[in-house]
Structure 1
Amino acid sequence: MDSLQLIVSKAKELVQTRLPECEAAFLAGSVVRGEATATSDLDIVIFDSSVTVSYRESFYYEGWPIEWYVHNLESYYAFYESDCARAKPSLPKMVSEGVILNDKGKAKVLQDEARKILKKGPSPWGEDEMTLKRYFLTDVLEDFIGATDRGEEMCCAATLAEQVHEFILRTNKQWIGSSKWIVRALRNYDQTLADRFVHVFNHYYKTREKESVITFVDDALQPYGGRLFEGFSLGK
């Protein structure tokens, strides 16, 4: 991937070509964080009061794959609310970390707002939500333990990885992730824990030995009462 300076220059050029009157524009994503790979795209977030509804578009610009996120100065609130409800603050993160491409006085205000949201963290789980998550995590763990078919084991392991990362981070009032962001979210919280997470699942996939994964999940559940089956009810 070309140097950041060149990418920023091209991104500014793109914004001026497409939405030159926008109030603010940011280049975000892996390129800005120095984590770009050969397949990385350029995430560009636009705030333009002339746009009636938010939209997302994917296209190529001079060979670069572009993810184009466009909002007006009100429509983005719904996306912030949705992101926060899922505990996956995709849009606030992009805005907070973005390199400013265009600014008519709104960029700093928007970034300060996004950073406050990220710093605050997601809303804590209530008792009912905690009970439900404990039960579902226990259920998948028991399926994993009992599975003898390789394909079924692998599917259980994948679900376990996602659910246990969510359980650990949400019980510690942290944002969560999906796909590659599962490991990144764990690293943002605790590097040692993230290393252990990677190790135990990697060990299972290489050897089919389950014990380290089982212990990891049990350790996550233990401070909150351990596995949950007896006494659980839903909708009663």
Structure 2
Amino acid sequence: MRRMKRMKAPFAAKRFVDEEFPHCQAALLAGSVIRGEETPTSDLDIIIFDNQIEEAYRESRIEYGWPIEVFVHSLTSYKDYFRSDAERARPSLPRMVAEGIVLKDSGILSTIKNEAAELLNNGPAYWSEQTLTTKRYMLTDALGDLIGTQNEAEALFIANTLAEAIHEFVLRTNGQWIGASKWIVRALKQYDEDFAERFVKAFDAFYKTGNREGIIKIADEVLAPFGGRLFEGYSVGK
């Protein structure tokens, strides 16, 4: 069966909104297609603002040759998602709203976009001393596991844990938003391209050759300003 030819992304997104949400107050197209990072597997991220809905929801569709992820909000529900994203330090919805191109607007998007931009510019709340201590201990613990294990299968997954932990630690201690999956590297590049390059090289070397030294070095680097590795004296609930 011949694959359906894709419409241009903005046209497909606009048609989807017109046909599926004709009475919405506003709609945005976000994601890789508007950043010039489109790949053969890219989808359309569409955000809908509709005062007729009672609860926000997300839905996946395939239309006009495109996989479509649609995020539907009332004129107030997005605020809860903004708040939740800020608390977890991964601003998925605010970022989509801030960068999104307008598909439809009854006059409300300027305010919502300003809210998203302000949240992004403010950055996440800084860790408390207790949280910082706990994260420092957890990073030390995972690092010790990587140094000590002789099981290469286990080492693969310890390294995965360290990649998440190192990226989170360096970004949160510097007041930056974190990422997940492909956004780990993107978030690191937004913070410091040199650090991001060294981070990728360290893990690339491990996965290709088993050399752990680069990971150990970069973990110690991010821990150093906060006293280095932490084990002795760490306590919870005492």
> Shared fold by TM > 0.5?
yes
Counterparts of 2:191 and 2:50, CA distance in 1 = 34
Within 5 A, what are the aligned runs for 1:161-200?
161-200=163-202
Ranges in structure 1 where 5+ consecutive residues have no aligned partner: none
Q: Encode CA deviations 1:121-164: one digit per residue, 9 max, x unaligned.
A: 00000100000000000000000100111110000001000000
Q: Which deviates more, 205-214 or 4-13? A: 4-13
TM-aligned CA deviation for residue 6 of structure 1: 2.6
Matches of residues 214-233 of structure 1 in structure 2 within 5 Å? Answer: 214-233=216-235
Q: Secondary structure at the match of 1:52?
A: coil
Q: Structure 2 counterpart of 1:73, which letter?
A: L
Instruction: Give the secondary structure class of the aligned counterpart of 1:175.
Output: coil
Deviation digits for residues 40-94 of structure 1 (CA, Å, limit 9, x no counterpart): 1100001111110000000101110000000001111111111111100000000
User: What does residue 90 of structure 1 align with?
Assistant: 92
Q: Does 1:160 align with 2:162?
A: yes
* Moved >4 Å (runs of 4+): none
User: In the alignment, which of 55, 74, 97 is matched to residue 57 of structure 2?
Assistant: 55
1:17 matched to 2:19? The reply is yes
CA distance in 1, matches of 2:157, 2:47: 35
Separation of aligned partners in 2, 1:147 and 1:40: 38
Alignment map for 1:36-115 (pairs within 5 Å): 36-115=38-117
**What amino acid sits opposite 2:164 in the alignment?**
E
Contact 2:7 2:65 in 1 (8 A): no
Computed over aligned residues only, the root mean square deviation of the Cα atoms, in angstroms, reads 1.2
How many percent identity over aligned positions? 52
| C-alpha contact 2:60 2:69 (8 A) present in aligned 1 | yes
Q: How many pairs align? A: 233
Report the 3-state secondary structure (helix = DSSP H, G, I; strand = E; otherwise coil) of the residue aligned with 1:221: helix
Query: Matched residues in 1 for 2:98 and 2:28: separation?
Result: 9
Where does structure 2 lack aligned partners over 5 or more consecutive residues? 1-5
* C-alpha displacement of 1:179: 0.5
Q: Which amino acid aligns with 2:69?
A: E
Aligned-partner SS, 2:90:
coil
Deviation string for 1:94-135 (max 9, x for gaps)?
000001000000111111110010000000001000000000
SS in 2 for 1:202: helix
Task: Give the residue type in structure 2 aligned to 1:43.
Answer: D
Quote the residue 2:150 is aligned against.
Answer: 148
Whether 2:178 is the aligned partner of 1:203: answer no
Q: Secondary structure at the match of 2:8?
A: helix
Deviations 1:4-32 (A, max 9, x none): 99311221111011111211100000111
Q: Secondary structure at the match of 1:155?
A: helix
- Cα distance in 2 for partners of 1:42, 1:78 equals 23
